[in-house]
Structure 1
Amino acid sequence: MSQIPLDLPHRAALDREAFFVSASNAEALAMVEAWHDWPAGKLALTGAGGSGKTHLAHVWAAGTGGVVVNAVDLTDADLPGMVDAGAVAVEDVDHLAAMANPRPAEAALFHLHNMLAGAGGKLLVTGKNAPSRWRLTTPDLASRLQAAGIATLGAPDDALIHAVIVKIATDRQLDLDPRLPPFLALRLDRSLASIADALAELDRQALAEQRRVTVPFARQVLSL
């Protein structure tokens, strides 16, 4: 008999130890960790969905004593308090373009940028593409963010895909057959977001059927 799986949240490990370094992200990591030397105290971190931007933003915040906030939440954020932290990571700035009225959030980001600059603080902003493609409606904000240096997380290589499969499985406390990571690495779409979706489905089905996640099970569930 199968059980109804509860959609329980799982906590992803976002510390530096859990950030696997490979050829696809080493350069971006080095630029983020060199935050003392950022020109004008700001950097844009770019990469596809699931490429590790959130993880790296949290690694940076932990190393600087800073804070992480999503761009769409800035209108309700304590901007002076964040400035007092001295370092702020603003995630998904490119998502502001999808808001019905992005101007309040853009205004908050503009003020945060200027307050941090005046206080000698550091600003990390993230998005899928370079700031020049973020379709911001506030020209002064757009020009300031386009002046930031850019660190790009590249397409994941084999080593990173394998490590991400193991990491997500560990985060979800999945009992994986050791043959499964290389099997999945060769067959799943080479997108970290797709890998996360696949592991989530395996987790859900394994809970429902009280099964261990093996190669035959994954082949069946994911139609591989």
Structure 2
Amino acid sequence: MAQQLGLDLPARTARGRDDFLVAPCNALAVSLIDGWEGWHPRKLVLSGPPGAGKTHLAHVWAERAGAVILDAADLVDADIPTLAQGAVAVEDIPRIATQAEAQTALFHLHNLTLASGGTLLLTGTGPAAHWALPLPDLQSRIAGTLEAQIDAPDDALLAALLVKLFADRQLFPPADVVPFLLPRIERSFAAARDTVAAIDAYGLATKRPLTRALASAALDKGTAPAR
């Protein structure tokens, strides 16, 4: 069989519902996204570590709810009254902790959306209680929102995630690559993402196929994050 060589192609993240890997650490979040029409009141906070799939689930929800997705930092220039008439997902809320104007915009979006019968999804890294938004009224409204937290992945999910991340880059590792990586990388979504990106880049730079030897060399060279 011919060896698989990496090609310098852009990674295309699969973000359909069937592409999301469901495990105990994210089952509650998936269940709430699937049952979004039952949110009471019509809002949800989706939190978790970097790379946990918050954006993926936001896109799944947006497809179903006909929602607009925007970054919290872009709220300053957004048409808040228009957004508030429907469903809207606002991502990376902690990013605006030092942006008073964006916080005020989110506060108004929150109130107007619920008043108009719209639906609101808020995402951010870490538990919402730690977002520490200086605007008290906004933080209190977030604190009073149902929250779905995604926890760190177990080995089974981490293995499946590595396979998916490789596939997003049109790479299909031999059977011994993922078991080799599991005990050698940090058990986190971000580490899985960074490891796959680094191995892909190292393979392209050295013009070598994706094998256990390549993965080991990438770890040894420090191009991939090791545990």
Q: TM-score, normalised by structure 2?
A: 0.88
Decide which of 144, 149, 167 is 1:147's aligned counterpart. 144
**Structure-2 residue corresponding to 1:19:** 20
Deviations 1:32-91 (A, max 9, x none): 22212212211111111111111111111111111211111111223234234x211111
**Structure-1 residue corresponding to 2:182:** 185
Q: Is the 8 A contact 1:176 1:212 kept in 2?
A: no
Please give the alpha-carbon distance, in whole angstroms, between the structure 2 residues aligned to 1:80 and 1:11: 33
3-state SS of the aligned residue for 1:125?
strand
Deviation at 1:218, TM superposition (A): 0.5
One-letter amino acid of the counterpart of residue 172, structure 1? R
Is 1:96 aligned to 2:88, yes or no?
no
**Structure-1 residue corresponding to 2:3:** none
Deviation at 1:11, TM superposition (A): 2.2
**Percent identity over paired residues:** 45
One-letter amino acid of the counterpart of residue 125, structure 2? K
Please give the alpha-carbon distance, in whole angstroms, between the structure 1 residues aligned to 2:116 and 2:70: 19
User: What runs of 5+ residues in structure 1 fail to find an aligned partner?
Assistant: none
Decide which of 151, 172, 195 is 2:192's aligned counterpart. 195
3-state SS of the aligned residue for 1:144?
helix
Deviation at 1:10, TM superposition (A): 2.2
**Structure-2 residue corresponding to 1:51:** 52
Deviation at 1:186, TM superposition (A): 2.7
Q: How many residues align?
A: 216
Deviation at 1:6, TM superposition (A): 10
**Structure-2 residue corresponding to 1:79:** 80
3-state SS of the aligned residue for 2:21?
coil
Q: Is the 8 A contact 1:71 1:96 kept in 2?
A: yes
**Structure-2 residue corresponding to 1:62:** 63
Deviation at 1:130, TM superposition (A): 2.9
**Structure-1 residue corresponding to 2:213:** 216
Please give the alpha-carbon distance, in whole angstroms, between the structure 2 residues aligned to 1:129 and 1:175: 32
One-letter amino acid of the counterpart of residue 174, structure 1? L
Deviation at 1:7, TM superposition (A): 7.9
Deviation at 1:128, TM superposition (A): 2.1
**Structure-2 residue corresponding to 1:41:** 42
Q: Is the 8 A contact 2:9 2:169 kept in 1?
A: no
Please give the alpha-carbon distance, in whole angstroms, between the structure 1 residues aligned to 2:42 and 2:149: 17
Q: 1:194 to 1:87 in 2, by over 3 A?
A: same
Matches within 5 A, 1:165-180: 165-180=162-177
Q: 1:182 to 1:6 in 2, by over 3 A?
A: closer
Please give the alpha-carbon distance, in whole angstroms, between the structure 2 residues aligned to 1:73 and 1:189: 32
One-letter amino acid of the counterpart of residue 94, structure 2? D
More deviation in 126-135 or 109-118?
A: 126-135
Please give the alpha-carbon distance, in whole angstroms, between the structure 2 residues aligned to 1:191 and 1:131: 19
Deviations 1:143-175 (A, max 9, x none): 111110010111101221111111111111124
Please give the alpha-carbon distance, in whole angstroms, between the structure 2 residues aligned to 1:105 and 1:38: 25
**Structure-2 residue corresponding to 1:118:** 115
Q: Is the 8 A contact 2:158 2:189 kept in 1?
A: yes
Q: TM-score, normalised by structure 1?
A: 0.89
